[in-house]
């Protein structure tokens, strides 16, 4: 029943997508066509598909093969809901739903003020939707019914909803790593909003190229979606790092894993695009570059999905085991070849840039920033795909080590920070001599003094000191600029400084929202430098009653414990943490055993403190002793705070643009 | 025109620098992954001390834990290699479990100082044999 409902939803979405392509093209050519109905059909179909999946999960309907292999009656809330995106087929349903919402949002705006560019963009989005919903009835069907049940799980399935079902009594449950932390319930949807959101600027770009209107209009129209995508990607990356830190038990948050890189690459390119889009809107420069960036960003989301979802990462040889890999790779090639062919056909229309008047200008800064971000993304791309290419062509399996990424990404990040300090205080077109020094004098002095304090009081490690100096420089430049503009206004109006500061920010919210994101990135950089360079760690073997001193704390191993929960067996050690004679907390590092899976999931216990987290990992237990990893990562919280701040800047900018538009509309109404 | 040439030259220089740095860093940071059959076949290419990663499954009944070492055999179905793990064994290490070991050849055995358990994406159970008895 639910298989039928879900499949019907998918089919409805496909019909809607095909209709949207046809009508979108007709409308883009100057005809009139209703684009809202097909987009509503896509949305309705996608909602029905997701609803069918959720009802199945909440009612333990194991007639669906996906549930039989990914779900279990013992899977607790919210992990039963999140099981909808715990594996490939379900995650594509989520992808389709988010895409449908974006399509519907664009179509709803289109109805208010129809134009050809938007119609063309909707046609492109319809095409993308045809592909993703098409996956759901071909190579990644989430609504296949189980026709050959195992004791737990399903050995054979059929895409035909009316096939005779063989319902297993239970399933193995989702991947243990995915039910070990509630973050898994919210992290994938957030990341997917980021990925899918990049479809919108891509669709506008292709629409603009197809209609031969390469002016800044497509940028203006897709700016909001780019911001949505960027903010959610940023949030998703931070939450992913936090999840890794809380769950993966090596005390780190980022390992240049292909799955992580898959989200970082589009974010880097989207960051470049947000800046270079501004240059085109303000100065008419970088038109061709913006097309390249937005096509790359979208392609990288498809590449990321391919890397993470086709099994190719484990081995190129598993590529052919599922048809999803070839399907995604084929789509990626189609997107790249199609987009760049169209781009080269229209390149004569893409205006040549007005000359850069001075490198010491806002646009000059943006050029440098774009160059750095593009190089950054390129390096991550090479490091991520090189092993795949090498194995595909020569059969040799290699891994690219973290040092490769760190060696190149760390200096690039510092250069980016430096640009971030200079850029915002530099005016468009060119700076008057002495202006930069006047604006940057105080931040430089403060940054250098804080650097000296760090050297004298904390550490002499070069990277940490440099991160403190540059991070302070960025923050100082932003604050300095705010102070300067506030003072100028206050001198004119005589109003109090605080009120004027609010006016200054209120007059250009997008700019200050961007600066908030910069501040967040600076915090992340400082946090990373501390966490990477000043950790302490030790391994100890303890018997009950034993104690050990570590990082200023006294740790006493109280006793082991073991408890059975519906979906897992938790085996752990109670460790009392003392500061001096006072017990401040009890930590419970654990080994969680899920179902019949013999490998326990090592679950660390973390005590969060401003100076540094105490991070305990249980390595093994036997009848008498436990083996415990002790780690501290100083200032790791700065990374979470900074990442959230950067994302908040994006969301604030979104809200600000909405408010700006509301104000404009009000003005228009009064004029009438 | 001179300005434009200067800019182009600068961009070309940056690209050359980036590509050069990327290629050299890549070469220095590659780790080879070998299955036991390949490791035996390519023994000459990996002299003692030359690090690589060995992927295979721990052979049942071969694991011996001493005070500071764990000794076991790893196989891919073809060749079998004796492994000496000098690090404390993580709780995930067990017989019949797929592992990824980092280390180097030492005469006729592989000395590993790092273990990564290869999680099967679907978490299918390799063996119901109770590698983790209740304690």
pLDDT at A670: 35
pLDDT band at residue A204 using 50, 70 and 90 as cut-offs:
very high
Q: Is A397's CB within 8 Å of B34's CB? A: yes
pLDDT at A214: 85
A408 CB near a chain B CB, below 8 Å?
A: yes
Tokens representing residue B97 in the block: 């479990």
In this structure, chain A runs to a length of 672
Q: Is B88's CB within 8 Å of A399's CB? A: no
Mutation site, A257, A598, A604, A623, interface B, largest B CB count within 10 A: A598
pLDDT in tens, A316-362: 555 556 788 899 999 999 999 999 999 999 988 886 777 778 888 99
Q: Percent of chain A having pLDDT more than 90?
A: 62
pLDDT at A259: 84
pLDDT at B128: 28
CA distance B102 to chain A (A): 12
Q: Does position A313 have pLDDT exceeding 80, yes or no? A: no
Phi, psi of A163 (to 5 degrees): -60, 155
Longest dimension (CA), chain A: 83
Task: Compute the mean pLDDT over every residue in chain A, rounded to the nearest whole number.
Answer: 90
pLDDT at A394: 85
The SS3 of residue A373 is: helix
What's the predicted TM-score (pTM) here?
A: 0.91
Q: Of A17-26, A345-354, A424-433, give the lowest mean pLDDT range.
A: A345-354
Tokens representing residue A209 in the block: 């190229």
C-alpha neighbours within 13 Å on the C-beta side of residue A283: 23
pLDDT band at residue B124 using 50, 70 and 90 as cut-offs:
very low
pLDDT in tens, B82-93: 999 988 776 667
Phi, psi of B68 (to 5 degrees): -125, 15
pLDDT band at residue A25 using 50, 70 and 90 as cut-offs:
very high
Instruction: Give the mean pLDDT of A594-621.
Output: 84
Q: Does position A141 have pLDDT exceeding 70, yes or no? A: yes
B20 CB near a chain A CB, below 8 Å?
A: no
Beta strand A553-565 with A568-579 is: antiparallel
Beta strand A601-603 with B30-34 is: unpaired
pLDDT at B117: 64
pLDDT at A513: 96
A539 forms beta bridges with A629
Q: Is B91's CB within 8 Å of A602's CB? A: yes
* Buried b or exposed e, range A472-492, using 16+ CB within 10 angstroms: bbbbbbbebbeeebbeebbee
Which chain B residues are Cβ-neighbours of A618 within 8 angstroms? 91
Instruction: Give the mean pLDDT of B87-114.
Output: 83
pLDDT at A672: 30
For residue B25, is it left (φ>0), alpha (ψ between -120 and 50) or beta? alpha
d(CA A372, CA A521): 15
Q: Which of residues 414-443 of A touch B (CB under 8 A)?
A: none
A602 forms beta bridges with A591
Which chain B residues are Cβ-neighbours of A286 within 8 angstroms? none
Q: Of A452-466, A508-522, A541-555, B110-124, give the lowest mean pLDDT range.
A: B110-124
Of these ranges, A515-524, A605-614, B74-83, the one predicted with the greatest mean pLDDT is A515-524
C-alpha neighbours within 13 Å on the C-beta side of residue A540: 17
- What string of H, E and C letters represents the secondary structure of A342-366? HHHHCCCCCCCCCCCCCCCCHHHHH
The answer to whether ipTM exceeds 0.95 is no
DSSP A213: -
Tokens representing residue A109 in the block: 């705006």
pLDDT at A549: 93
Q: How many CB atoms lie within 10 A of CB A399?
A: 17
Q: Does position A282 have pLDDT exceeding 90, yes or no? A: no
d(CA A93, CA A222): 24
B12 CB near a chain A CB, below 8 Å?
A: no
Q: Percent of chain B having pLDDT more than 70?
A: 82
d(CA A396, CA A392): 8
CA distance A479 to chain B (A): 32
Which chain A residues are Cβ-neighbours of B30 within 8 angstroms? 398-401
Which chain A residues are Cβ-neighbours of B22 within 8 angstroms? 378-379, 382, 408
Q: Is B26's CB within 8 Å of A620's CB? A: no
Q: Percent of chain A having pLDDT more than 70?
A: 95
Instruction: Give the mean pLDDT of A64-84.
Output: 90
pLDDT band at residue A314 using 50, 70 and 90 as cut-offs:
low
pLDDT in tens, A235-280: 999 999 998 888 777 778 888 888 889 999 999 999 999 999 999 9
pLDDT in tens, A633-647: 888 999 999 999 999
CA distance B64 to chain A (A): 16
Q: Are A56 and A2 in contact (CB under 8 A)?
A: yes
Tokens representing residue A285 in the block: 């420069």
A564 CB near a chain B CB, below 8 Å?
A: no
pLDDT at A666: 43
Contacts of A241 by beta carbon, 8 Å cutoff, 6+ apart: A253, A254, A260, A639, A640, A643
Q: Name the closest residue on chain A to residue B24, using Cα atoms.
A: A404
Shortest CA distance to A240 belongs to which of A216, A257, A223? A257
A570 forms beta bridges with A563, A592
The SS3 of residue A466 is: helix
The SS3 of residue A155 is: strand
Q: Is A379's CB within 8 Å of B123's CB? A: no
Q: Does position B132 have pLDDT exceeding 80, yes or no? A: no
pLDDT at B122: 37
Q: Name the closest residue on chain B to residue A591, using Cα atoms.
A: B91
């Amino acid at each position: 029943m639910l298989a039928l409902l879900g499949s019907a939803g998918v089919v409805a979405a496909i019909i809607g997508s095909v209709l949207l392509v046809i009508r979108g093209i007709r409308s883009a050519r100057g005809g009139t066509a209703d684009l809202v109905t097909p987009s509503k059909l896509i949305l309705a179909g996608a909602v029905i598909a997701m609803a069918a999946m959720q009802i199945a999960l909440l009612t333990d309907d194991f007639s669906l093969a996906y549930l039989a292999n990914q779900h279990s009656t013992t899977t607790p809330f919210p992990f039963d809901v999140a099981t909808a995106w715990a594996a490939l087929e379900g995650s594509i349903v989520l992808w389709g739903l988010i895409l449908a919402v974006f399509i519907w949002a664009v179509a709803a705006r289109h109805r208010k003020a129809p134009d050809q560019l938007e119609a063309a963009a909707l046609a492109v989005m319809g095409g993308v939707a045809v592909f993703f919903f098409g996956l759901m009835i071909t190579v990644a069907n989430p609504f296949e019914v189980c026709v050959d049940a195992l004791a737990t799980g399903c050995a054979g399935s059929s895409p035909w909803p009316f096939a005779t079902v063989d319902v297993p009594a239970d399933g193995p449950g989702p991947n243990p790593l995915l039910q070990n932390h509630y973050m898994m319930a919210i992290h994938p949807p957030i990341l997917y909003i980021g990925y899918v959101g990049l479809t919108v600027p891509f669709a506008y770009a292709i629409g603009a190229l197809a209609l031969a209107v390469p002016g800044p209009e497509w940028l203006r129209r897709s700016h909001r979606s780019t911001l949505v995508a960027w903010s959610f990607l940023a949030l998703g990356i931070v939450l992913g790092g936090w999840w890794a830190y809380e769950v993966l038990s090596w005390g780190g948050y980022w390992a240049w894993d292909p799955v992580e890189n898959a989200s970082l690459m589009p974010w880097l390119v989207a960051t470049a695009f947000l800046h270079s889009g501004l240059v085109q809107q303000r100065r008419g420069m970088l038109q061709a570059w913006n097309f390249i960036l937005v096509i790359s960003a979208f392609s990288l989301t498809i590449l990321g999905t391919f890397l993470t979802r086709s099994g190719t990462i484990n081995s190129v040889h598993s590529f052919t085991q599922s048809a999803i890999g070839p399907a995604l790779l084929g789509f990626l090639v189609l997107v790249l070849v199609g987009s760049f062919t169209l781009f080269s056909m229209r390149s004569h229309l893409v205006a040549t840039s007005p000359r850069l008047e001075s490198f010491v200008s806002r646009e000059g800064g943006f050029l440098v920033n774009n160059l750095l971000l593009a190089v950054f993304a390129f390096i991550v791309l090479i490091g991520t795909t090189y092993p795949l290419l090498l194995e595909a062509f020569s059969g040799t399996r290699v891994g690219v080590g973290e040092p490769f990424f760190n060696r190149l990404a760390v200096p690039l990040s510092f250069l980016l920070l430096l640009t971030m300090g200079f850029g915002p205080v530099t005016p468009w077109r060119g700076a008057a001599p002495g202006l930069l020094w006047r604006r940057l004098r105080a931040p430089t002095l403060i940054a250098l003094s804080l650097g000296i304090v760090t050297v004298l009081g904390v550490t002499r490690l070069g990277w940490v000191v440099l991160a403190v100096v540059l991070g302070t420089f960025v923050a100082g430049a932003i604050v300095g600029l705010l102070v300067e503009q506030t003072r100028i206004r206050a001198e004119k109006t005589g109003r109090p400084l605080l009120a004027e500061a609010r006016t200054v920010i209120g007059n250009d919210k997008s700019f200050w929202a961007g600066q908030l994101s910069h501040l967040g990135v600076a915090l992340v950089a400082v946090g990373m430098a501390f966490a990477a360079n000043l950790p302490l760690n030790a391994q100890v073997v303890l018997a009950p009653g034993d104690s050990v001193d570590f990082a200023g704390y006294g740790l006493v191993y109280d006793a082991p414990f073991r408890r059975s929960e519906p979906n897992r067996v938790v085996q752990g050690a109670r460790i009392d943490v003392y500061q001096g004679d006072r017990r401040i907390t009890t930590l419970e590092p654990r080994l969680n055993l899920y179902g019949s899976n013999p490998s326990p999931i090592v679950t660390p216990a973390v005590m969060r403190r401003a100076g540094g987290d105490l991070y305990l990992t249980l390595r093994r237990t036997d009848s008498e002793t436990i083996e415990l990893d002790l780690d501290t990562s100083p200032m790791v919280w700065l990374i979470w705070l900074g990442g959230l701040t950067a994302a908040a800047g994006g969301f604030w900018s979104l809200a600000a643009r909405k408010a700006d538009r509301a104000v404009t509309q009000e003005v228009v109404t009064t004029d009438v | 025109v001179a300005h434009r040439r200067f800019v182009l030259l600068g961009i070309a220089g940056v690209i050359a620098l980036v590509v050069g740095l990327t290629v050299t860093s890549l070469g220095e940071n590659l780790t080879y992954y070998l299955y036991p059959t390949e490791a035996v076949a390519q023994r000459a290419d990996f002299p003692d001390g030359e690090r690589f990663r060995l992927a295979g499954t721990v052979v049942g009944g071969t694991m011996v834990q001493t005070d500071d070492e764990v000794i076991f055999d790893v196989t891919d179905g073809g060749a079998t290699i004796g492994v000496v793990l000098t690090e404390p064994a993580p709780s995930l290490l067990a017989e019949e479990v797929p592992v990824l070991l980092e280390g180097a050849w030492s005469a006729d055995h592989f000395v590993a100082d790092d273990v990564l358990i290869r999680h099967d994406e679907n978490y299918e159970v390799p063996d119901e044999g109770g590698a983790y008895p209740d304690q």
